[in-house]
Amino acid sequence: MFNKKYKKFIIASLATMAIFVAGCSSTDDKEEPGSENVSLNEQMDYKITGIDAGAGVVRSAEQAVEDYGLEFDVQTSSGAAMTQALSDAIEKEEPIIVTGWNPHWMFSKYDLKYLDDPKGSFGEAENIHSIARLGLKEDMPEAYKVLDNFFWDGADMENVMVQVNEGREPEEVAREWVDNNKDKVSVWTEGVESVDGQEINLAYVAWDTEIASTNVIGTVLSDLGFDVTLTQVENGPMWEAVASAKTDAIVAAWLPGTHGDHFENFKNEIEDLGPNLEGAAIGLVVPSYMDIDSIEDLIEE
Ligand code: PBE
């Protein structure tokens, strides 16, 4: 028994030495594969700048770290802290990786790129869905129709987002967008009758995308005579709220991937009204001046 173990130990030691020797000789000719990644990763402190811990994109970034075997940590903060860190890094032309998504004003403000994701940790293209609480159709048919009809595109949403990012109040920007886009809004409200102060609550998370959409649809409902309250919550609680009818609807469901786990969890307690925007995406985003194109470029061998 002892002997057998001892033998194994010698074999293991020899194997280690062989690897060591092989390693040494190769450094004479050229650098170890992946060593240039090490220095870039060190410059970034092995940090991916995330947003709020409840966000799907943070979870997917953690999944990517695992799928690609990266040494990185995903640091959580908020959407606002992430865009601030991005802007600071760009000012100094320093490397940075953030958890990003589009539509987003950051793509019109800065020169950015998504890192390729050959393992698909961030999923495919996403749609943003509107979700109603059960019973909304019967209780508030007019609001239900508007939410069901609500559909716009990435350029519409970015138009609102860019102005909010410039420091204007979301409510004011939404008011202006609704006034300037009567053709689109009239499709959402076609055949919908006005109501007299019926209360409706919409829950949302303080992501730039959702601040834009929720304020716009809130303005449309308010113009129809609804007494609208927008309630800001975290992602998990937003899904719980619509499933338990604490809120009437959300327009912030990223599917099938980003919020797929929440959807799966609550699918029998909610009504999916379908996409209000198509062709959204999430992923790791870097400034274009960075000399990497894929998440694989972060792997250290
Ligand atoms: N986001 C924006 C959200 C969905 C909308 C990408 C930050 C998320 O990651 O959950």
pLDDT in tens, 91-131: 999 999 999 999 999 999 999 999 999 999 999 999 999 99
What is the pLDDT at residue 32? 62
Largest CA distance in the chain: 89
DSSP 153-212: -HHHHHHHHHHHHTT--HHHHHHHHHHHTHHHHHHHTTTPPP-SS-EEEEEE-S-HHHHH
Q: Tell me what the mean pLDDT of segment 251-274 comes to.
A: 98
More confident residue, 245 or 15: 245
CB atoms inside a 10 Å sphere around CB 236: 15
Contact between 47 and 229 under an 8 Å Cβ cutoff? The reply is: no
CA of 56 to the centre of ligand 1 (A): 6
Phi then psi dihedrals of residue 272, to 5 deg:
-80, 120
Please compute the mean of the pLDDT values over residues 176-191 and round it to a whole number: 98
Quick one: pLDDT band at residue 1, thresholds 50, 70, 90? very low
How far apart are the C-alpha atoms of 218 and 279, rounded to whole Å? 23
The residue length of the chain stands at: 301
- Mean pLDDT across the stretch 149-164? 97
Q: Is 291 helix (H, G, I), strand (E, B) or coil?
A: coil
| Band of residue 14 on the pLDDT scale cut at 50, 70, 90 | very low
**Rounded mean pLDDT of 221-234?**
98
Give the mean pLDDT of 244-259: 98
pLDDT, position 5: 40
Confidence at 301, pLDDT banded by 50, 70, 90: confident
Ligand 1: does its nearest atom lie under 6 Å from the Cβ of 161?
A: no
pLDDT for residue 273: 98
Cβ burial of 284 (10 Å; 0-12, 13-18, 19+) is: buried
Model pLDDT, residue 2: 39
Ligand 1 pocket residue status of 123, Cβ below 6 Å: no
Question: By C-alpha distance, which of 205, 202, 200, 213 is closest to 259?
Answer: 205
For residue 23, pLDDT over 60 is answered with: no
The confidence score (pLDDT) of residue 197 equals 97
Does the pLDDT at position 236 exceed 50?
yes
Per the prediction, the chain carries an average pLDDT of 91
Q: How far apart are CA 59 and CA 53, in angstroms?
A: 8
Q: Evaluate whether 226 touches 143 at the Cβ level (below 8 Å).
A: yes
At 4, is the pLDDT very low, low, confident or very high (cuts 50, 70, 90)?
very low
pLDDT at residue 278, as a whole number: 98
Q: Distance from CA of residue 276 to its chain's centroid?
A: 16
Residue 152 pLDDT > 90: yes
For a mutational test of ligand 1's pocket, the pick from 52, 105, 233, 282, i.e. the residue with the most ligand atoms closer than 8 A to its C-beta, is 282
Tell the residue number behind the tokens 């599917």, with chain if given: 255
Degrees to nearest 5, angle at CA 138 with 136 and 141: 75
8: pLDDT strictly greater than 80: no
Which of 51, 77, 78, 126 best tests ligand 1's pocket when mutated (most atoms within 8 Å of CB)? 51
For the full predicted model, state whether its pTM sits above 0.85: yes
Q: How many CA atoms lie within 13 Å of 30's alpha carbon, on the beta-carbon side?
A: 3
Find the mean pLDDT for residues 256-284: 98
109 contacts 290 by C-beta, under 8 angstroms? no
Q: What is the CA(19)–ligand 1 centre distance, in A? A: 44
Beta bridge partners of 202: 230, 249
**Per-residue model confidence (pLDDT) at position 7:** 39
What are the pLDDT digits (tens) for 39-73? 999 999 999 999 999 999 999 999 999 999 999 99
**What share of the chain has pLDDT > 90, as a percent?**
87
Contact 160, 216 (CB under 8 A): yes
